[in-house]
Chain A
Amino acid sequence: MSITRFEENRLHQVESKWKIIGNRGLFAGIMAFIVVWSLFPVYWMANNSLKGRLEQFSSIPTFYPHAPTLENYHRLFQEMGFLGTIGNSAMVAFVSSVLAVAFGSLAAYALSRYQFKGKQVLLAWILLTRIFPPVAFVIPLYSIMGNVGLLNTRIALILAYIVFNLPFAIWMLIGFFSEIPIEIEHSAQVDGASPFQVFRQIVLPLVAPGLAATAIFSFVMSWNEFMYAMIFIQSPDLVTVPVALSGLVTEYLVLWGPMSAGGILSTIPILVFVIFLQDYLIKGLTLGAVKG
């Protein structure tokens, strides 16, 4: 690492001062663009969550709440029991994404390392389930869940989410696994490690960024899924965040305030999850050392 920095410093010294200033300006400009582009709608949501209805629709939009109110948040917690709802979503999303990544990494490893009968069929089938529009699944899946008595349980949602996250997780992880040079595994096998040991102790740590990215995607998908959550769950105590938020689109009005507040609040748990997994994304593979 120290050599890298040294090299870089020398390169920098060669560049002219003006170029550096120009680059800095450009850099700051791009940075500002990315931040504004990503955050403005979120800011607008937060802004609305602190306004009353009249101000939300004033003819000249107000860029910060002139008459700030916590009424919208209050309403979510007091009247809608939003905390319990967030708990339901967290539970379903966490369990299903952990399992999807676990099952997915196993399957992806096998698919990327071994040749076996029916492999092409399996790969195609996995992709096909992702391509089908979810609407096509609703009726048959509902009747399966009904027949095994899983309607109105979290298990039904967790199962459905694992199945819909798996194709994605598998395809994504196949990509990451195939970047790992197979020689590393061979040498471990020569040392007497079982295939499972090789997978667990050598391969998995190498694809940590891929696992983290996959887990984030699965979590986000499960957290925000609406259709199955709406149809499989009946009792109000089990409802997830998107379903609870959909109840704010009432027959006559969209309750914009609580809706915005709910959007902001429901993002916090995912944000925590993402920050938690960021270390993996940043650490990166240690492959370079091996290859070099």
Chain B
Amino acid sequence: MTWIFLTPTVVLFLLLTVYPLFYAAYTSFFRVDYILDQSTFVGIQNYQRIIRDMNFWNAVKNTLIFVVSAVLFELVLGTAFAIFFNKEMKYRKLFRTIVLIPMLLPPITVALTWKMMYAYDQGVLNYLLEVIGLGRIEWLSSTTWALTAIIITDIWQWTPFVFLMVLASLQAIPESLYQSARVSGATSWQCFRYITLPLLKPTLTLALLLRTIDTFRVFDKMYVLTGGGPGNATETITFYIYRYGFRYFHTGYAAAGSIIMVIMVCGVSFLYIRRAFRTANAK
């Protein structure tokens, strides 16, 4: 019977993902100039060159800073918002929709609107900072702030993702658990700590995994807000791969970069991948 359930997925994956993944793995051993249509087998040279490239390690550093801080804040804020809006309240539906809005906007417009708000002279954020008596900040043009600015934008846009996942999963927690806990005198914090959190654990793990994977691939925000600059302050791994793949059309080198990145993601998220697999195999 199983095959009926799996057929559509497996067929689509066989048709559309097997070739691309093997293509990437295969070309990573060639020096390719896609424009000139030339390729030469070079063994693991691409990998060696990438690992020796300072710019690549700088991109790795930026990516890790980005992933860790963005994902952490998104998880904390998203969970907090979800718990807050899980209560009975007036206009609950309206407020939930409001929290979701940042995720719904087109990324290019989001990035450009933030770019406008970050502008040093005419930007509204600096204006507000000045009004409350703080100094202006060189949001996008200083090497110290540019990455932070992009992280803030990402947190703003993707907190709703975690919010929605956690909210959907909070619905699954039976109210009766809380009732009995309260009757036996548990405080709200205890309810959260000993009922909500353990039951949310699988969802939080999955949210952590998915957000880690997606922030690792972040590209559009750097592309629009800073172009990877100033200098190389906001260059991430995907941006690095993009430069080689589509600016220079050295697709073999870019493929090797992609493979290295996949290995890194698996390394970083090894623990939660294992946990996620365990959930999948539970029954």
Task: Tell whether A151 is near chain B: CB-to-CB under 8 Å.
Answer: no
CA distance A113 to B17 in the complex (A): 25
Pick the most buried of B112, B183, B202, B262: most chain A CB atoms within 10 A of its CB. B112
Closest to B32 in A: A139
| Selected interface stretch from A65-73, A75-83, A117-125 | A117-125
Cβ of B107 < 8 Å from any Cβ of A?
A: yes
| B113 partner, pick from A31, A123, A263, A283, beta carbons under 8 A | A263
Task: Tell me whether B192 is interfacial, beta carbon within 8 Å.
Answer: no
Residues of B within 8 A of A120 (CB): 277
Does B104 lie within 8 Å of A245, measured CB to CB?
Answer: no
- Number of chain B interface residues as a range: 35 or more
* Interchain CB contact under 8 A, B20 and A137: yes
Instruction: Judge whether B84 is part of the interface by a CB distance below 8 angstroms.
Output: yes
Q: Are A59 and B122 interface neighbours, CB within 8 A?
A: yes
- Among candidates B84, B108, B183, B265, residue contacting A34 with C-beta atoms closer than 8 Å: B84
Given A34-B84, A139-B251, A281-B171: A110 touches B5 (CB 8 Å cut-off): yes
- Residues of chain B with a CB closer than 8 A to A102's CB: 8
- Contact between chains at A42 and B9 (CB < 8 Å): no
A127 at interface, CB cutoff 8 A: yes
Q: Are B117 and A292 in contact (CB under 8 A)?
A: no
Q: Which residues of B contact A95 (CB under 8 A)?
A: none
CB neighbours of B5 from chain A (8 A): 106-107, 109-110, 199
What residues of chain B lie closer than 8 Å to A122, measured between beta carbons?
6, 10
Query: 10 smallest A-B Cβ distances: which pairs?
Result: A288-B174, A263-B109, A284-B171, A110-B5, A140-B20, A136-B258, A107-B9, A213-B168, A140-B23, A103-B8
Q: List, sorted by A's number, 9 A–B pairs whose CB atoms are closer than 8 Å.
A: A41-B113, A48-B113, A125-B13, A127-B273, A175-B203, A213-B165, A216-B164, A260-B113, A292-B176
Q: Contact residues of A with B, CB < 8 Å?
A: 4, 7, 11, 30-31, 34-35, 37-39, 41-42, 44-45, 48, 56-61, 102-104, 106-107, 109-116, 119-120, 122-123, 125-141, 144, 159-160, 162-163, 166, 168, 170-172, 174-176, 178-179, 182, 195-196, 199, 209-210, 212-213, 216-217, 220, 223-224, 226, 241-242, 245-246, 249, 254, 256, 259-260, 262-263, 266-267, 270-271, 274-275, 278, 281-285, 287-289, 291-292
